[in-house]
C-alpha cells in the first residue's frame, strides 16, 4: 500500500477531465459495464451539477471522484463516490464526502440525498447521513433485465 496522507489530495470541481482516469476509477469500483462507452464520459461530467475529482499532489494522479446531481435550488444527490484501491483507508473518501457536502451547501442546497452501495452505510453514517426509514426510494431502470427476481 502506498503511504500517502489525505492532505496530499486536492479536490477539484470540473466540467472536463481525463476520460481514462474516470473509467479506471469506475472499473475499480465495479461500476463499469462492457456496454458503456468512454466517449460518453465528457457529457456525463458536464451533465452533473458538480463533478469532483481528487488529485494526488505532486504527481497529478486522479485518485477519487464523486458527483452531485441537483435541481440547483433545494435538493442535491451525491453519488458515484469512489477512491482508487491503493489510496483507500487514508481518509480520502471522508474528505471527499465533506468537500461534496460543503459544495452542495455553498450552492444553496439544503436537502442532500446520498446514493450508496449496499453495505456502505456505516461509512456514510460517520458523516451524519441517516437511513430515513420513513421514506422509500424506488429505482426504475429502463431495459433492466430481471436478474434479481
Q: Which of 6-15, 74-83, 127-136 has the highest mean pLDDT?
A: 74-83
What pLDDT is attached to residue 145?
A: 59
Confidence check: pLDDT of 149 > 50: no
State the average pLDDT for the chain: 87
The arithmetic mean of pLDDT across residues 103-121, rounded, is 88
Confidence check: pLDDT of 2 > 50: no
The three-state DSSP-derived secondary structure of the chain is CCCCCHHHEEEEEECCCCHHHHHHHHHHHCCCCCCCCHHHHHHHHHHCCEEEEEEECCCCCEEEEEEEEECCCCEEEEEEEEECHHHCCCCHHHHHHHHHHHHHHHCCCCEEEECCCCCCHHHHHCCCCCCCCCCCCCCCCCCCCCCCC
Confidence check: pLDDT of 7 > 90: no
What pLDDT is attached to residue 129?
A: 77
The arithmetic mean of pLDDT across residues 26-53, rounded, is 94
Amino acid at each position: 500500500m502506498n503511504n500517502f496522507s489525505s492532505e496530499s489530495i486536492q479536490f477539484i470541481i470540473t466540467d472536463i477531465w481525463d476520460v481514462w482516469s474516470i473509467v479506471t476509477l469506475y472499473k475499480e469500483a465495479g461500476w463499469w459495464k462492457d456496454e458503456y462507452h468512454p466517449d460518453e464520459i465528457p457529457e456525463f461530467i458536464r451533465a452533473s451539477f458538480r463533478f469532483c475529482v481528487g488529485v494526488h499532489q505532486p504527481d497529478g494522479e486522479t485518485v477519487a471522484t464523486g458527483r452531485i446531481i441537483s435541481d440547483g435550488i433545494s435538493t442535491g444527490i451525491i453519488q458515484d463516490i469512489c477512491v482508487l484501491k491503493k489510496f483507500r483507508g487514508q481518509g480520502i473518501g471522508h474528505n471527499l464526502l465533506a468537500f461534496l457536502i460543503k459544495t452542495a451547501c455553498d450552492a444553496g442546497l439544503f436537502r442532500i440525498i446520498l446514493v450508496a452501495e449496499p453495505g456502505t452505510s456505516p461509512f456514510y453514517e460517520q458523516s451524519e447521513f441517516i437511513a430515513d426509514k420513513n421514506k422509500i426510494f424506488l429505482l426504475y431502470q429502463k431495459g433492466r433485465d430481471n436478474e434479481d427476481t
